[in-house]
Amino acid sequence: MAEIVTDRPADRRFELHVDGVLAGYVDYRVSGSEYALPHTRVLDQFGGRGLGTVLVVGALEQIAEQGGQVLPYCSFVPWVMRDRPDLAALVPEARRAEFGL
């Protein structure tokens, strides 16, 4: 199963494709180098396979590569970050408590 996370700036979202089929996405809004992540969705037919985590980790890794910071308003994103301190570090230190990090 090929899982690919791609940034789609024109749509302001990261998309997860599984074997070439859209499986989910993370919406974002950018201000400077700060990415606000308000919503994550895995399509119903792809649910229950851990693909939400694959999607969020892939999106966060790409944001990190670009030197970005993250405001994880979608409650699923901080849940993933709690298991990955390297990714939780993308949230500005002064705002981490706001997201339970």
Structure tokens given for 7: 């940034």
C-beta separation of 5 from 54 below 8 A: yes
Beta-carbon count within 10 A of 94 CB:
7
pTM confidence score: 0.94
Tell me what pLDDT residue 49 has: 93
- Its sign, for the CA torsion 59, 61, 64, 66, is negative
Give the pLDDT band of residue 46 (cuts 50, 70, 90): very high
Backbone phi and psi for residue 53, each to the nearest 5 degrees, phi listed first:
-65, -45
Name 48's Cβ contacts closer than 8 Å, sequence gap at least 6. none
Catalogue all structural domains in the chain, each as residue range(s) with its CATH number.
3-99 (3.40.630.30)
For residue 55, pLDDT beyond 90: yes
